[in-house]
Amino acid sequence: MKNTSIRNLIAIALFSSTSTAAYSRPAPNIQTPVPMQQQVGEVVSHLVGVMDTSAQAQANPKAPNVRMTTCKVSVENTKKNPKVVFLYQEQAMSQNLAKPYRQRFLKIAPSADNQSVESQSFKPPTPEALIGLCSNPEAKRVVKLNDIGAAKCSVFLKPDGENYIGETPEAGCPSDYKGAVKVTNRILLHSTGMDTLDRAFDAAGNQVWGSKGEPYQFRWVQPSASR
């Protein structure tokens, strides 16, 4: 009887010790899913402003010194939707900002499956008329739907901590620029700017333009006021 009582006391003590340890363990770090509207807003905040590759060009004389300017625009006759934001973006060599070599509109919105943020690019039919659009006050950055042009490519972005990582579809996007038939892109949006790995390939699979080594490293010159 005495041995039984001792065994019972030991069992109770072990149970009590185990239970206390279990309840004192820190709760697992489970991240709460970020609402899609918030994700759209964060991607927009990462993009809007002025960036350039001057630091990269200074470190590597073979790297181009490019400035990228991005701003919000309003599109006439489109229904207001907080999950959809239109941006205008132009890229130019830093020593020749008046003549951008790349101009496009971006539609930032949830993807069709609602699993990522889609950045869909459009090539405007009359880009010359848009040069310097971001220098206008936001209230005057209003364009017509016909000014947007045809959809060209999409990058699908997902949050990674405070950053966003995205890429084009696996097959890439069609292209007819400088001998290319398709382009691929991988981007990282982060607190100091954006890294982008643009690559273009011909029908034989040879790379004809774009980054051949490290990604283009755009760093903030003038972030958006909302950052």
Chain centre distance of CA 121: 12
Q: Is residue 171 part of a domain?
A: yes
Nearest one of 83, 88, 81, 118 to 105, comparing CA atoms: 88
The tens-digit pLDDT sequence of the chain (227 residues) is: 444 444 444 343 433 443 344 334 444 445 567 899 999 999 999 999 999 999 999 999 888 999 999 999 999 988 888 899 999 999 999 999 999 999 999 999 999 999 999 999 999 999 999 999 999 999 999 999 999 999 999 999 999 999 999 999 988 998 887 889 999 999 999 999 999 999 999 999 999 988 888 899 999 997 766 54
Distance CA 213, CA 190 (A): 20
pLDDT value, residue 120: 97
Domain, as residue range, for 145: 36-223
Q: Is residue 6 part of a domain?
A: no
pLDDT value, residue 17: 43
Number of folded domains that form the chain: 1
pLDDT value, residue 22: 38
Q: Is residue 103 part of a domain?
A: yes
pLDDT value, residue 10: 38
Q: Is residue 189 part of a domain?
A: yes
Nearest one of 62, 54, 52 to 214, comparing CA atoms: 62
pLDDT value, residue 148: 95
Distance CA 111, CA 109 (A): 6
Long-range contacts of 99-108 (CB under 8 A, 24+ apart): 99/131, 100/127, 100/131, 103/127, 103/130, 103/131, 104/152, 105/73, 105/143, 105/147, 105/148, 105/149, 106/47, 106/70, 108/40, 108/43, 108/44, 108/47, 108/84
Question: Residue 200: helix, strand or coil by DSSP?
Answer: strand
Task: State the sign of the Cα–Cα–Cα–Cα dihedral 201, 205, 206, 207.
Answer: positive
pTM of this structure: 0.82
Q: Is residue 168 part of a domain?
A: yes
Task: State the sign of the Cα–Cα–Cα–Cα dihedral 52, 197, 116, 123.
Answer: positive
Q: Is residue 9 part of a domain?
A: no
Q: Is residue 125 part of a domain?
A: yes
pLDDT value, residue 225: 60
Q: Is residue 3 part of a domain?
A: no
Look up the CATH number of the domain holding residue 58.
2.40.128.590
